């Protein structure tokens, strides 16, 4: 298996970045707004977007309840094709990670962290 070209990977990461920007500036889902969610809530929404329409289920097996964390008026998963849902899911995961980073003291993420990534 060949790794994706850095140009293609960069295009995808840029697309996720643009979706996150749309969420913040277009929808008003600011970091301050995200900080009001319960821990894990954004990640659950991302999982719901990522698995919607697939064989994977994000339901409580005991009750067959969809794990979607918000009201039905906010559920737009059916509106989007699979690839778009994955981009939205990735942007929601970015929001979840940003939320954790704001809430917890973070270690230095300088050149040493970048070197760790380069080892891949």
What's the pLDDT tens digit per position in 95-116? 999 999 999 876 666 655 555 5
The tally of CA atoms less than 13 A away on the side-chain side of residue 9 is 5
Give pLDDT tens digits for 11-57.
999 999 999 999 999 999 999 999 999 999 999 999 999 988 887 76
Better pLDDT: 110 or 66:
66
The tally of CA atoms less than 13 A away on the side-chain side of residue 19 is 20
pLDDT value of residue 119: 58
DSSP, res 22: I
Is the Cβ–Cβ distance between 95 and 34 less than 8 Å? yes
pLDDT value of residue 15: 96
pLDDT value of residue 45: 96
Cα of 42 vs its chain's centroid, Å: 7
Q: With cut-offs at 50, 70 and 90, classify the pLDDT of residue 8.
A: confident
User: Dihedral of CA 5/98/66/22: which sign?
Assistant: negative
pLDDT value of residue 63: 55
Tell me the C-alpha distance between 100 and 106, whole Å: 9
Tell me the C-alpha distance between 98 and 18, whole Å: 15
């Amino acid at each position: 298996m060949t790794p994706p070209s850095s140009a293609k990977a960069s295009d995808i990461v840029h697309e996720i970045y643009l979706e996150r920007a749309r969420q913040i500036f277009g929808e008003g889902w600011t970091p301050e707004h995200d900080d009001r969610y319960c821990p894990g809530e954004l990640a659950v929404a991302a999982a719901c977007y990522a698995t919607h329409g697939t064989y994977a289920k994000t339901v409580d097996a005991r009750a067959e309840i969809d794990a979607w964390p918000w009201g039905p008026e906010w559920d737009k998963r059916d509106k989007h094709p699979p690839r778009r849902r994955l981009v939205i899911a990735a942007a929601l995961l970015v929001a979840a990670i940003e939320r954790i980073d704001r809430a917890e003291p973070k270690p230095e993420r300088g050149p040493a962290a970048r070197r760790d990534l380069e080892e891949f």
